[in-house]
Amino acid sequence: MIPPSLRAAGMPFQRLFGVWFLFSLTMGTLPVPTSALADSQRALELPVDHGKAPLPVANWTKSFWINSPGANPLAGEGSQGPLTEDADVCIIGSGLTGVSAAYHLGKQLEGRERAAPLKVVILDARDFCAGATGRNGGHLSPVAFASFNLALQRFGTDEVLRWLALERHTVTEVVKIIEEHGLQEAVDLTNGGRIELLITPEELTAAKADYKAAEAAGADLDDVKWLNEGETFGSSHPGYLHTGYNLWPLKFVTELYKLAAASPALNLTLHTRTPVTAVTPSNGSSTRPWTLNTPRGSVSCTRIIHATNAHVSHLLPHMSGPAGVIPVRAQVMALRAAAPLDSISRHAWTGNEGFEYWFPRPLEEGQEHPLVIIGGGREATLPKYELYVADDSAINPKAGAALRKFLPTLFPGKYEEGREPEMEWTGIMGYTASSDPFVGPVVDPSSSTNKYEGHFVSAGYSGHGMPRAFACAEALAQMVAAGIMGKSWSPPEWLPRHYLTNRVGLVQH
Ligand SMILES: Cc1cc2nc3c(=O)[nH]c(=O)nc-3n(C[C@H](O)[C@H](O)[C@H](O)COP(=O)(O)OP(=O)(O)OC[C@H]3O[C@@H](n4cnc5c(N)ncnc54)[C@H](O)[C@@H]3O)c2cc1C
Ligand SMILES: *[C@@H]1O[C@H](CO)[C@@H](O)[C@H](O)[C@H]1NC(C)=O
Ligand SMILES: *[C@@H]1O[C@H](CO)[C@@H](O)[C@H](O)[C@H]1NC(C)=O
Ligand SMILES: *[C@@H]1O[C@H](CO)[C@@H](O)[C@H](O)[C@H]1NC(C)=O
């Protein structure tokens, strides 16, 4: 329950504004306060003012990743002609989660003797991969130790180490697939490392404490290098460097789809621009238990994977609100730097406890200064941090104003003040109260009978899905494949047990 003190929105936000003014006095520079993480999570406790999430809007903002020429060859795949009427597994959503689930199903079922290929269909309301995965910051970095103490308090040592392991597993596997298939150029993979900038003294102290706790717990910290004020390319703040890659997320998902489609274990089809408006128990002639309803007709399925992230509660209403997944709008822009690539550094960066993240795109022919993709600015959208905003057809001018000023302020002389971005867009993330996703069979706690038999979900990455969605989809595909083959499933060592919807193997500490 929400404590009455938090219900009266005035109280905590007085304090929030207090922090805001404090930082503008002491630093006098950055357009947004840092260390807003805890306060934004607290906003999740505000009274719920919306029911289930809507379907994704049809008039979305154009993103650099989706709308660069030639970037989305599968955009309208399967949007016309006959709809696949029947499938063993229906996957709703063609982002990183849905396509990873198809890829892993192919891997899990490889080499099954005498079996016909599994009929799998992916449906998406919009163009291929035009949700969060087609609109994010393009970072692929496993967490090193940030927020280690907080997670330790909440979940205990085993679970925190699994969290770190899951992110390392994701990044290692994704990079391995890219390298094995020679896709580095196709997906613009760069291995520049990632710098977490520690902007306030409190952030530095907290980071040192997190590092110590992670070290004591036996976490692998070999890749971490501390940087002093003079080593962060003119930002004049300390920080640390650790493993980090960047890529073009839509292009990676496109390649992953091609690999899944080529799997001999699958008969895979894709229908874009086909929103699933309801899932109902089948009636009439179908032998499959479930029917997906779409404006183009219906699809009968035995198993369903909900890979709809921020929109998951549209079809699963019990997953709306703070006990489920809340849509939260995030904003990104493509801003041209005013200095050469090497002087602004190739790294990907974040403002650690703040919400900003950025990296320079590789230089294209004829370009002197790189295009920097920067996201964040939600701290400027108090008091609600864009919570419950599921409309990515518009941008938030306050977030936009903060983002425009952020880099010119942090790196004096390297960006032109007042310069307009070349593109600016929004996307919808799915937040949960724990900041961790729900992975596993769909369970409605209010119902004693299992009314979602055969439904699975992986959703709610809370703005941190790039290093997690691929592995969560792997766990899901293992469960689904085990069910198909009549085998039992036990979670892989790297999967935090508290992610699981049915809490298999979760030992309370
Ligand atoms: C602006 C922005 C910046 C981000 N930055 C980062 C970052 O720096 N690092 C990081 O790790 N993560 C980041 N994220 C989060 C990350 O992008 C997501 O966690 C991840 O992409 C989720 O993948 P997904 O496949 O689950 O969801 P999505 O990519 O959103 O895919 C869900 C798909 O489901 C479809 N869909 C929804 N409902 C229906 C329906 N009823 N019928 C049919 N289709 C439906 C949607 O159209 C969509 O294509 C960011 C997200 C945004 C929006
Ligand atoms: C794949 O499924 C479609 C129907 O969805 C069917 O027409 C086709 O023959 C199948 N292909 C294979 C190789 O089984
Ligand atoms: C069968 O299900 C569809 C939805 O899938 C529904 O519109 C229709 O009314 C149902 N028919 C009967 C006879 O229940
Ligand atoms: C996008 O479409 C929705 C629904 O039709 C509408 O409410 C919204 O204003 C549109 N957005 C823009 C920016 O036009």
The residue type found at 467 is P
Which residue has the least CA distance to atom 8 on ligand 4? 393
Give the dihedral sign, CA 92/93/98/102: positive
Cα-to-centroid distance, 42 and ligand 4 (Å): 29
CB of 320 shorter than 6 A to ligand 1: no
Alpha helices in 61-112 (DSSP H): 64-67, 96-109
Cα–Cα distances in angstroms (integers) from residue 324 to residues 75, 163, 175, 312, 435, in the given order: 30, 20, 31, 9, 11
Topology classification of domain 326-431: D-Amino Acid Oxidase; Chain A, domain 2 (3.30.9)
Radius of gyration of the CA atoms of the chain, in A: 22
- Residue 263 CB less than 6 A away from ligand 2: no
Contact 414, 343 (CB under 8 A): yes
pLDDT on residue 24: 32
| Nearest-angstrom CA–CA distance, 17 and 36 | 11
Instruction: Give the nearest ligand 3 atom to 280 CA.
Output: 5
- Output the CA 124–ligand 3 centroid distance in Å: 23
Q: Rounded to the nearest 5°, which phi and psi values hold at 422? A: -80, -30
Q: What order do you get walking across the sheet with 348-350 strand by strand?
A: 225-227, 239-242, 194-197, 348-350, 357-360, 371-375, 326-336, 423-431
484/150 Cα distance (integer angstroms): 38
Q: Phi/psi of residue 409, each to 5°? A: -75, -40
In Å, how far from its chain's centre is CA 204? 26
Both tokens of 418, joined, read 């007042």
- Residue whose pair of structure tokens reads 């057809």 in the numeric block: 393
The pLDDT profile of the chain, 509 residues, written as one tens digit per residue, is 233 222 222 222 223 333 333 333 334 377 776 666 677 777 677 767 678 999 999 999 999 999 999 999 999 999 999 999 999 999 999 999 999 999 999 999 998 877 899 999 999 999 999 999 999 999 999 999 999 999 999 999 999 999 999 999 999 999 999 999 999 999 999 999 999 999 999 999 999 999 999 999 999 999 999 999 999 999 999 999 999 999 999 999 999 999 999 999 999 999 999 999 999 999 877 889 999 999 999 999 999 999 999 999 999 999 999 899 999 999 999 999 999 998 999 899 998 777 899 999 999 889 999 999 999 999 999 888 999 999 999 999 999 999 999 999 999 999 999 999 999 999 999 999 999 999 999 998 888 788 899 999 999 999 999 999 999 999 999 999 999 999 999 999 999 999 999 876 555 44
Rounded CA separation 194/113 (Å): 45
CA distance 62 to 64: 7
Query: What CA–CA distance (Å, rounded) separates 58 from 77?
Result: 16
Give the residue carrying structure tokens 């995030």. 330
Reduced to 3 states, what is the DSSP secondary structure of residue 74? coil
Q: Which of 300, 306, 342 is nearest to 93 (CA)?
A: 306
Cα of 393 to ligand 4 centre, how many Å?
6
Q: In this structure, which residue's CA is closest to atom 4 in ligand 3?
A: 280
The best mutation among 90, 123, 267 to test binding of ligand 2, ranked by most ligand atoms within 8 Å of the C-beta, falls on 267
- Quote the ligand 4 centre to 168 CA distance (angstroms): 39
DSSP assigned state of 500: B
Instruction: State in Å: Cα 118 to ligand 2 middle.
Output: 10
Question: Residue 18 gets which letter from DSSP?
Answer: H
User: 393: Cβ below 6 Å to ligand 4?
Assistant: yes
Query: From CA 45, how far away is CA 411, in angstroms rounded?
Result: 35
Ligand 4 close to Cβ of residue 394 (< 6 A): yes
Q: By alpha-carbon position, which residue is closest to atom 14 of ligand 1? A: 463
Q: Nearest Cα to 321, choosing from 448, 159, 445, 481?
A: 445
Q: Is the CB of 308 under 6 A from ligand 1?
A: yes
Distance 266 CA to ligand 2 centre (A): 10
pLDDT at 49: 66
Which two three-digit tokens encode residue 442?
A: 């769909």
pLDDT score at 114 = 77
What would the two tokens of residue 413 be? 């002389």
pTM for the whole structure: 0.93
Closest atom, ligand 2, to C-alpha of 87: 5
Domain boundaries, the chain: 64-133+250-323+438-508, 326-431
What is the signed CA dihedral for 276, 481, 428, 300, rounded to 10 degrees?
0
Which contiguous run of DSSP H or E holds residue 268?
strand 266-271
The pLDDT, as a whole number, for residue 405 is 95
Mutate to test the pocket of ligand 4, among 59, 329, 425, 426 (most ligand atoms within 8 A of CB): 59
Separation of 300 CA from ligand 3 center, angstroms?
A: 12
- Residue with CA closest to ligand 1 atom 32: 308
Contacts of 374 (CB under 8 A, 6+ apart): 137, 332, 333, 335, 356, 357, 358, 403, 406, 407
- Asked if residue 275 has a cis previous peptide bond (ω within 30° of 0), the answer is no
Largest Cα span, the chain? 71
Measured from the CB, is residue 298 less than 6 Å from ligand 3?
Answer: yes
Which residue's CA lies nearest to atom 7 of ligand 2?
84
Q: Which is nearest to 303 in space by CA: 438, 119, 103, 108? A: 119
CA distance linking residue 500 with residue 490, whole number of Å? 11
* Cα–Cα–Cα angle for 476, 460, 399, rounded to 5 degrees: 150
pLDDT attached to residue 506 = 58
**CATH dotted code for 64-133+250-323+438-508:** 3.50.50.60
Whether cis (ω within 30° of 0) applies to the bond prior to 467 is no
Rounded distance from Cα 197 to ligand 2 centre (Å) = 52
Query: At 158, is the secondary structure helix, strand, or coil?
Result: helix
